[in-house]
Amino acid sequence: MRTAYTSDQIRAAEAALMATLPEGTLMERAAAGLAAVCARTLGGTAGRVYGTRVVLLVGGGDNGGDALYAGARLAARGARVDAVLAGSRVHSAGLAALRRAGGRVLDGRFERVRALAGAADLVVDGLVGIGGTGALREPYATLARITAGADCPVVAVDVPSGVDADDGRVEGEAVRADVTVAFGALKAGLLVDPGAGYAGRLEPVGIGLEPYLPDAGVAALTAGDVALLLPRPDARSDKYRRGVVGIVAGSRRYTGAAVLCVGGAVRGGAGMVRYAGTAEPVAGVRARWPEAVVTELAPGEGVGGVGRVQAWVLGPGLGTDADAFAVARSVLAGDLPVLVDADGLTLLAEDRSLLRRDAPTLLTPHAGELSRLLGVDRARIEERRLEHVRRAAAELGATVLLKGSTTLVAQEGRPVRVNPTGSPWLATGGTGDVLAGLAGALLAAGLDCYDAASCAAYLHGVAGQDGPLAAGDVAEALPGAVRRVLNGLRHEDGAARLEG
């Protein structure tokens, strides 16, 4: 599992570690790790570093010092290193080390910096560290724009300048890095969009912080973690032990939602799927999924006659009229785990009393649906996804899976899980219905809401990585996604070491 921390947590750990070390040791460790990543990015061998052109963008904080010391190491290996001093102050010892190694210091004239960056083999962003918040000021904002025109890799020191280290906010110009070298531990904002989209490949560099770090507030599962969590049948298994999921979805207008949601559950490994709906979606489910046990509901009828299930999925394409409200109330009045999605979330926003239940509840909104549940502008939720998914879990008393370019799973008292397998190919109609069915199958198999949501998001992402595809293709790809995860674990001789 990959864990991530806030800037305050990192700084506190650094202070505790520095109290045990000679002065300057921590920066030396960070600079050595940064220089090694830069060398690999340039080409990996000493011969490749020799003769290359490196531009350092140097701010006035410790990140600037790290960049200067790393630049000194690269200059000592034969690179031509030019440092652009952007801050009102500079790390004097780092600057002296760079000059001793033969590095050059430039003024901050933008035309000259632009020309150098355009001809460079590598640009190192050491402008703003983990304490930076809000929009970049000048000259940092213009320097961030210049990096976008560099025809070479950009390596960010700890966090790309302009990205909030705590939650991934980007409020103006920001450096879009190809590689981010994270000292000691990952910062939460590197895992959450929009910041994650600026971070590129993450390269953690150990500097000895581990014993001083607190419990993480953000985590990302690896394939090995998911493999260990997934329920697997054994010799005693039957369809009931594997989990029976009930699905209430679809309507005359949205018959496909029922078909896709049932498909997510069937292909996601449910022991049995019981589908309940009105005539039109019932016909579609019967035609596409003969494996499902189907119950046709009369208008306004509840689910009392559907039969035994271990968890429910409620809402995809259900509609929001009085009949939909009646069936939603009958599902939520029970004592089984319930996943609520799509139109079910709209019904909850209209009547929050439906959430007054003691049984586990998993909500799977996108930002627009969450905005209705919380009464918060959608754009603000997109800007501060971590903040609002935590708020939703606490305020609504449920586990919340917030869909989007970065899918987040929050449950009060536990780290927010960030899904690492999301794919732009999943941005197509109906894929959320497949995800709901898959997560419902995992709930019925015995996973709690937190693990079911996390594993479903991971597998859904794996299934959607090879595009272009439609929602039905994602459902069909789920068995292969499960096999890839489980086989990967077996190939590691049972050790959960696969990365997301």
Check the annotation: does 334 bind a ligand. Answer: no
Check the annotation: does 67 bind a ligand. Answer: no
Instruction: Give yes or no for residue 496 having a pLDDT over 50.
Output: no
Pairing of strands 408-410, 416-418: antiparallel
Check the annotation: does 161 bind a ligand. Answer: yes
Average pLDDT over residues 156-170: 95
Check the annotation: does 371 bind a ligand. Answer: no
Instruction: Give yes or no for residue 246 having a pLDDT over 90.
Output: yes
Beta-carbon count within 10 A of 116 CB: 20
Predicted local confidence at residue 45, as pLDDT? 47
**Tens of pLDDT along 254-276?**
999 999 999 999 999 999 999 99
Predicted local confidence at residue 44, as pLDDT? 59
Instruction: Give yes or no for residue 467 having a pLDDT over 60.
Output: yes
Q: Which CATH number fits domain 2-219: 1.10.10.10, 3.40.50.10260, 1.10.10.1100, 3.40.50.300?
A: 3.40.50.10260
What would the DSSP string read from start to end of 359-424?
S-EEE---HHHHHHHHT--HHHHHHTHHHHHHHHHHHHTSEEEE-SSS-EEE-TTSPEEE-S---G
Check the annotation: does 16 bind a ligand. Answer: no
Average pLDDT over residues 366-387: 95
**Tens of pLDDT along 74-115?**
999 999 999 999 988 899 999 999 999 999 998 768 888 999
Predicted local confidence at residue 489, as pLDDT? 58
Q: What is the DSSP letter of 290?
A: T
| Range in 99-113, 331-345, 421-435 the model is least confident about | 99-113
Check the annotation: does 398 bind a ligand. Answer: no
CB distance 275 to 262 below 8 Å = yes
Check the annotation: does 264 bind a ligand. Answer: no
**Tens of pLDDT along 196-214?**
999 999 999 999 999 999 9
Separation between Cα atoms, residue 59 and residue 336, nearest integer Å? 55
Instruction: Give yes or no for residue 482 having a pLDDT over 90.
Output: yes
**Tens of pLDDT along 40-56?**
999 854 458 999 999 99
Topology of domain 223-491, CATH: UDP-N-acetylmuramoyl-L-alanine:D-glutamate ligase (3.40.1190)
Predicted local confidence at residue 500, as pLDDT? 39
Check the annotation: does 20 bind a ligand. Answer: no
Check the annotation: does 404 bind a ligand. Answer: yes
Check the annotation: does 257 bind a ligand. Answer: yes
Closest CA to 103 of 124, 127, 89: 124
**Tens of pLDDT along 289-319?**
999 999 999 998 999 999 999 999 999 999 9
Check the annotation: does 353 bind a ligand. Answer: no
Rounded percentage of the chain residues whose pLDDT exceeds 70: 96
Instruction: Give yes or no for residue 499 having a pLDDT over 80.
Output: no
Average pLDDT over residues 327-345: 97
**Tens of pLDDT along 350-361?**
999 999 999 999
| 281 preceded by a cis bond (ω within 30 of 0) | no
Q: What is the residue-averaged pLDDT of the chain?
A: 93
For CATH 3.40.50.10260, the residue range(s) in the chain are 2-219
Check the annotation: does 140 bind a ligand. Answer: yes
pLDDT band (50, 70, 90) for residue 495: very low
Check the annotation: does 132 bind a ligand. Answer: yes
Check the annotation: does 207 bind a ligand. Answer: no
Separation between Cα atoms, residue 492 and residue 482, nearest integer Å? 16
Check the annotation: does 271 bind a ligand. Answer: no
Check the annotation: does 431 bind a ligand. Answer: no
For CATH 3.40.1190.20, the residue range(s) in the chain are 223-491
354 class by beta-carbon count within 10 Å (0-12 exposed, 13-18 middle, 19+ buried): buried
Give me 162's structure tokens: 């302009």
Check the annotation: does 158 bind a ligand. Answer: yes
Check the annotation: does 63 bind a ligand. Answer: yes
Predicted local confidence at residue 14, as pLDDT? 94
